[in-house]
Amino acid sequence: MPVTEITFWKWFLPKLRNKFFLTALIFLIWMLIFDSSNWVEMLAAKRRIKKLEEEKVYYLKKIEEDKKKIKELRTNAENLEKFAREQYLMKKPNEDIFIVDETNL
C-alpha cells in the first residue's frame, strides 16, 4: 500500500468509531443519494432549467421576428401579396403559376 493510503486509513478508521462522525457521514450519504431531492436529481434539474431558459430566449427572438413580419404585412400591400403568393401559392384570376425547383437545375 502506498503511504497516502496508509495515512488515510490511519486517519479514517478512528473517526468511524466516533458516533458523531458516523452519524454525519450517514446523513451526508443519505442527502446526496437517497433523499427525494438528492444531488443527482438536482444536477439533472439544473441542466433542464438551463436548456429551457435557452429555448425561452430562442422563442422570444422568434416572437419578435414574427411581430415585425406581421407589422410589415399589415402595412404594405405589396409585401402581403408577395407573401401570399410564395407561402400559399395564391394567384390572381386568369393567371398561371409555374413553380421552378432551383435545386434540380
- Mean pLDDT throughout 85-103? 83
pLDDT tens digits along 29-84: 888 888 777 888 888 999 999 999 999 999 999 999 999 999 999 999 888 888 88
Express each pLDDT in 15-30 by its tens digit.
777 788 888 888 888 8
Q: Domain extents for the chain?
A: 1-35, 48-93
The pTM score is 0.54
Helix axes 77-88, 39-75, angle to 10 degrees: 120
Alpha helices in 19-103 (DSSP H): 19-29, 39-75, 77-88
C-alpha distances (whole Å) from 22 to each of 14, 28, 46, 97 are: 11, 10, 30, 82
Q: Report which DSSP code applies to 76.
A: -
Rg (CA), the chain: 33
